[in-house]
Chains A and B, each alone.
Chain A
Amino acid sequence: MEGLFFNVNNGFLEGIVRGYKAGILTQSHYASLTQCETLEDLKTQLSATDYGNFLANEASLTTTIISDRATQLLVDQFNFLRSNAVEPLSKFLDYITYSYMIDNVVLLITGTLHERDTHELLERCHPLGVFESMPALCVATNVEELYQSVLVETPLAPYFRNCLSAADLDDLNIEIIRNTIYKAYLEDFYEFVGTLGSPTSDVMRTILAFEADRRTINITINSFGTELTKEQRAKLFPAIGRLFPDGNNALAKADDIEQVRLVCENIPEYRSFFDNSPGDAQDLGDLGIAAQLEDRFFRTEVRLNKEAFLQQFQYGVFYSYVKLKEQEIRNLTWIAECIAQDARDRINDYIPIF
């Protein structure tokens, strides 16, 4: 039934987004990109793809310019989708921007804390997460003020309510705030996609559940050896995901990576995250494992987002497209960075999408 009326409001945009998706760089594109000698070569190669002439009028090329321009393309596309969307898709698209808003808020408070230049910080903000009163964030000195003066009128306000207790703004607290907000955001988003009904909820819940689990595992691993108590840690875990509730409880008590691995063993799909040949594990150390883990998380995310395109008549494609494109920009930046710094041996460490 959902297929019957889906196209009335969303058919056009789904068509657009699937068209955009066809422009995502494929393995063969990457193969030729990685052969480039200079950034100029990269520009030549990219001009043959959907990126077209987006760098044609740049006098000098740097990695930042490439990634900025690429992000700008994504933002333009997203804004096109957003301005053509109607309820509930428009709300769904707004939800996508919330995560960028959270990042921007945290970036600004952290920056202000370290007394960085506000304008420089504003430039570094992700354009998808920009909101009107954002610049005023930099005057806030404590959480209460932050909430009362700025965030109260943003969509993030409800998420913020839970962490008003944290009084001072220091690095640890900001990190706690970030994770609390993100937890609230994920849970809210999870609930929201539930109201959209199948198949959107099916697709999105799979992706969001993984996102939640990824955060849970990351929080656990990053909290080893910090002053974060186990009770505090448990509070930061999103109450969704496939690890919830048993895995979350176990993770809250975990003390080292080995225990995290044991928890993940229970989920067949997650088993491979820690799947090392025994010789490697010693060499890498904890840091190495975390880095490798991050890489595998990205791969899984890409896989899940790709699978979202297999389903028709649902909103997951919009979320997935943004995420895939983001990954592509990360890949481009990585490749450009490798070329610029002449680190050719690591150039193939990007995450292929198609």
Chain B
Amino acid sequence: MGDDYPSMFRSEPMSSVELYIPREVAHDTVTELGELGNVQFNDLNPNVNPFQRSFVGEIRRFEDMARRTRFFISQIEKEKDPIHIRPLSDSAPLITVGPRAALLGEHEARLLQMNESYKTLSERTKELIEARYVLRETAVFFDKAETQQGEVRSSFDDSSAPLLQYDDRETQHSSTLQFELEFVAGTIERSHIPTLERVLWRLLRGNLYMNHTDIAEPFVDPVTGVETRKNVFIIFAHGESILAKIRKVAESMGATLYPIDANADKRADSLREVTARLEDLQTVLYHTGLTRRSELMIIGENLSRWQDVVCKEKAIYETMNLFNYDVRRKTLVAKGWCPTRDLVIIQAALRRATEESGTNVVPILHELPTNKTPPTFVRTNKFTEGFQAIMDSYGTATYQEVNPGLFAIITFPFLFAVMFGDIGHGLIILFAALYMIANERKWARSNLGEASACGRYIIFLMGVFSLYTGLIYNDIFSLTLHLWRSGWDLVNMNGMEVGVPTGRVYPFGLDPAWRTADNSLVFSNSYKMKMSIVLGVTHMTFALCLQLPNHIRFKRPLEIYTNFIPQMIFLQSIFGYLVMCIIYKWSIDWTTRSTEPPSLLNMLIAMLLSPGKVDPATQLYPGQGFVQVILVLLAVVCVPWMLCAKPYFEWKEMQKIQGQGYVGLDHHDGLRHSTDEALENEEGGNGQAAIEQMEEEHEQHDFGDVVVHQVIHTIEYCLGCISHTASYLRLWALSLAHAQLSEVLWSMTLEGYLGMPGITGIIALALIGSLWFGATVFILCIMEGLSAFLHALRLHWVEANSKHYGGEGYPFMPLNFAKLDEKE
């Protein structure tokens, strides 16, 4: 069915194909097929280690190129002024593959060299800057020390004896020789200052005077771009060995020491010298930076194209690694799956590949008969993709099974809307979806919102259906619409407002008069509860019916008689009857009847517990007791039918086979082994992998398994019918909660402020109105919408899918260049 046009009803028919590709055209062939994106290649060398395959060398080369492009990207990112990387869509296509590796290598080498020189230059600059800082800051120390000698020393007064002695010596020195103290000066990372101070203090037993100041600006490492903050320190101490110790400690803690002269004039000289050299260096540095930048600009022009090509090439060679390479005949043998429909297109692609490679050897493609289960492939477009994804995340459909994704396109938004029914909220999400759809192309180009790409159409349909159910519930932000004249007139009777029917019937949806009624909740509860039962049983019956095409397709008539029919009777005799009763009860005007309206819940319980007895005061229709007995009997009969029929027929079948003289599977095995060997000799082991997989497909059918499976299935189904029907009551519960919540929100915020007069009224209305709108969007549309979404999801996955869905397939994963980016 549907052979002329692809449908979503079943997955695509697939063909197992074998390709003989001459080595020369292999690359072009795989490129073409990858662009086409509809062939899935099987691994023909499952026993070969990844690094022992034929094209490891090429893959490694491209991995290296990928590393280079990553290096370029990191370099470009580190550049302070952003460099434009030309997007893929703008760049010119690259035609030849060969020289690119060399080109990349060249660029890398140049860049590395420039980085290297840039780095050494920056290091030099950094050192000079540090030296300048040290000179400047120490000058401050010296100046301070000279002017405030007295104060500095007096601060040591209360310390211990050696310090004082030291201090005295210093006084002598400084008084006579104007600061002949020995010292060490340098820079060190700020975080190391306390440690350095502590270690030195302990090491020299306090015989030192240390001073340090922060360098305001951070130093940036030219390669890594990490900022470090440093301090200038100067340590005064006395004695050569002590100074040597200080130097050693400071250096091992990562400090840089600078020779500083105690003489102020010499310091000024060296400061000038340093500044001059710094200026020179900075010019050089600037030019190096400029050349580096222009190099990066050139790279940026082509970078995304390179990335793309490298990515593709890697995928191509990885695919070619899956092939069987026959060195003698210089051909690659590939096996895989492709949709039968696309065979022609693939043939054309193969011819194109041959033309492009300029040879006249054509890759040969032919179909292989196989008993393996092909992968499941459902053609989707951007509209159906999201719905199919919902079903695929439950389980991939078995090959050629009825695909519930098709029906979910309507049922999913509908069940969602039953819970979310509100015209206002529906409009909000509808406009949100329309906005997303309108911007689809723009976002797709800038790679924004890929995640919600397929979701926007689901949201769109959810909005449309919410609008519809909202009209039925007559609910707009918990208020009602008076589209037509109400079917009730309010008449004052003994101080109470009572609705009197006018004889008109409200044409569509709920009568707005119900909103103000005292018993509106009772009414809408009863209505929504019954409605959810009706919808639930309908949905389950429909899902059950989907078994039928499966059984017919896979030629399992036994399943129809032993599973489908009894299941259907069981469901209909109890719950189908309940639905009939609900509709019948709705259609009767009970005010004109002599009997009381029966409680349908009690009726159902009584039907099962005391069959045949119906209280005539509350009976629905005459002869009810008899009908119910028949229905219960039917349901009861169905249980042993489901339980025993299938195992019995299976057993009979087995007896028949054994009666014909077949014994087990061992007999076949011997035969197959001999053919295996023959095959191996013929193809040099090429086909072995395929055959091994075929053997796995053979499942041992044991009678015990069949019985156990059937028992579980029956129990699950019978209990499931009850619990699943109850589960559909969530439609009622959620729609009730949604309606009540929006009503509470309305009455708590906006309702009280609507009639307020004057300017305060307008301001209050604006404030409260925005509060109300925010809460409506976030709580009611997003949070409630999410919960309704999840419940709709569950109803599809559990309640509906359990009735028919096998979901034992595996997805079709073709080599597709368009999807490579997503994997990265």
Contacts and interface: CB of A to CB of B under 8 A. Distances in A.
Interface of A: 32, 35-37, 40-41, 44-45, 48, 56-57, 59, 118-119, 122, 132-133, 135-136, 138-139, 145, 148-150, 152-153
B248 A149 contact: no
Contact of A139 (B56, B60, B198, B248): B248
Given A40-B60, A45-B50, A56-B67, A135 B198 contact: no
A138 B251 CA distance: 11
B50 A153 contact: no
A57 B224 CA distance: 14
Contacts of B225: none
Given A118-B251, A136-B249, A148-B202, A44 B50 contact: yes
20 contacts: A40-B60, A44-B50, A44-B51, A44-B60, A45-B49, A45-B51, A56-B67, A56-B70, A57-B67, A57-B71, A118-B252, A133-B195, A133-B198, A135-B249, A135-B254, A138-B248, A138-B252, A139-B249, A149-B199, A150-B199
B202 A152 contact: yes
Nearest to A138: B252
Given A57-B67, A57-B70, A149-B203, A135 B50 contact: no
Closest 6 CB pairs of A and B: A135-B252, A149-B203, A41-B51, A136-B199, A118-B252, A135-B253
A153 B245 CA distance: 19
Contacts of B199: 133, 136, 149-150
A149 B242 CA distance: 14
Nearest to A141: B245
A341 B289 CA distance: 42
A136 B203 contact: yes
Given A45-B49, A136-B249, A136-B252, 6 more contacts: A44-B56, A118-B252, A139-B248, A149-B199, A150-B199, A152-B202
Interface in B17-74: 49-52, 56, 60, 63, 67, 70-71
A113 B444 CA distance: 66
A148 B199 CA distance: 9
A122 B49 contact: no
A153 B194 CA distance: 13
A40 B57 CA distance: 10
A139 B203 contact: yes
Contacts of B202: 148-150, 152
Nearest to B254: A135
Given A57-B70, A133-B198, A136-B253, A35 B49 contact: yes
A133 B51 CA distance: 46
Contacts of A44: 50-51, 56, 60
A120 B75 CA distance: 29
Contacts of B56: 44
Contacts of A135: 249, 252-254
Contacts of A32: 49
B76 to A, nearest CB: 15
Contacts of B67: 56-57, 59
Contacts of B254: 135
Nearest to B248: A139
A118 B251 CA distance: 9
Contacts of A36: 51
A341 to B, nearest CB: 19
A28 to B, nearest CB: 11
Contact of A132 (B51, B195, B245): B195
Nearest to B246: A139
A193 B50 CA distance: 46
Contacts of B52: 35
Interface string B245-277: 100110111100000000000000000000000
A42 to B, nearest CB: 9
A44 B198 CA distance: 48
A135 B254 CA distance: 9
Contacts of A40: 60
Nearest to A135: B252
A43 to B, nearest CB: 9
Contacts of B192: 132
A57 B253 CA distance: 29
A252 B151 CA distance: 63
A48 B203 contact: no
A36 B51 CA distance: 8
Nearest to B108: A59
A67 to B, nearest CB: 21
Nearest to B63: A56
Interface in B336-360: none
Given A136-B203, A149-B203, A152-B202, A122 B195 contact: no
B820 to A, nearest CB: 17
Contacts of B245: 139
Greatest chain B CB density within 10 A among A44, A139, A148, A150 is at: A139
A13 B254 CA distance: 35
A118 B56 CA distance: 43
Query: Which residue of A57, A149, A150 has the most chain B CB atoms within 10 A of its CB atom?
Result: A149
Contacts of B253: 135-136
Contacts of A153: 198
Contacts of A35: 49, 52
A122 B254 CA distance: 11
Interface string B729-768: 0000000000000000000000000000000000000000
Contacts of B252: 118-119, 122, 135-136, 138-139
A253 to B, nearest CB: 42
A139 B203 CA distance: 9
A265 B50 CA distance: 48
A138 B192 CA distance: 17
Contact of A48 (B50, B70, B71, B195): B50
A59 B199 CA distance: 40
A153 B201 CA distance: 13
Contacts of B198: 133, 153
Contacts of A149: 199, 202-203
Nearest to B251: A118
Contacts of A152: 202
Nearest to B67: A57
Contacts of A41: 51
The listed residue with most B CB atoms (<10 A of its CB), out of A35, A48, A133, A152, is A133
A160 to B, nearest CB: 14
Contacts of A138: 248, 252
B27 to A, nearest CB: 21
A41 B248 CA distance: 44
A344 B63 CA distance: 27
B795 to A, nearest CB: 34
Interface in B142-201: 192, 195, 198-199
A37 B203 CA distance: 53
Contacts of B195: 132-133, 136
A44 B49 CA distance: 10
A46 to B, nearest CB: 11
A291 B542 CA distance: 75
Nearest to A56: B67
A148 B202 CA distance: 7
A139 B245 CA distance: 7
Contacts of A57: 67, 70-71
Output the residue of B51, B248, B254 with the most chain A CB within 10 A. Answer: B51
A184 to B, nearest CB: 22
B318 to A, nearest CB: 12
Contacts of A37: 51
Contacts of A45: 49-51
Contacts of A139: 203, 245, 248-249, 252
Nearest to B203: A149
A136 B199 CA distance: 7
A143 to B, nearest CB: 14
A59 B111 CA distance: 14
B448 to A, nearest CB: 27
A333 to B, nearest CB: 20
Interface string B275-306: 00000000000000000000000000000000
